[in-house]
A = this chain, B = another copy of it.
Amino acid sequence: LDELTVGQRFASGAYRVDAKQIIAHAREFNPQPFHLDDAAARETIFGGLAASGMHTAAITIRLLVEGGPRLAGGIIASGCEIRWPRPTRPGDVLQVKSEVLEIEPSRSRADRGFATLRSDTYNQHGEIVQTFKIKLLAPRQRSSSSAERQTPAE
């Protein structure tokens, strides 16, 4: 937590999504026609195969874990707010751009705090497929003498 500052920005790597992945995720978690089959999806409000929102959210987490803030305890969320202004489509290449919005020490625990990120997920056309506010739990060092302390990288 001590190494994060409000306004700090992070850009993730890229993640390509194909129809096979969209359908596999939907079969397991969201078996509705517009997430399973392109022909059926054309008859719906989506007008073609679209990823489940939670698939886009899960990919966003993956991109944050790999290319977001480096926190000693890892990326651990206590909650989030999501909006999906447009769906992720087959062939889309997603990237996440994040900014630290707020940092707050825990009221009950001196060794931790929370960092709120805004993380927007873009497709290859620069369009936002997801806006995301995520509250992360972050360890906090109690004194400068422990600043070199590392948790074992397991």
Q: Which of A40, A78, A79: most chain B CB closer than 10 A?
A: A79
Which residue of B is nearest A152, CB measured?
Answer: B43
Could you tell me if A32 and B79 are in contact, using CB atoms closer than 8 angstroms?
A: no
Q: How many residues of A contact B (CB 8 A)?
A: 39
Contacts of A52 in B (CB 8 A): 58, 61
Contacts of A75 in B (CB 8 A): 30, 32
| 17 A–B contacts from the bound complex (CB under 8 Å) | A25-B58, A29-B61, A30-B65, A31-B62, A32-B65, A32-B75, A43-B151, A44-B74, A45-B137, A53-B61, A54-B61, A55-B58, A77-B84, A78-B84, A79-B83, A80-B82, A82-B82
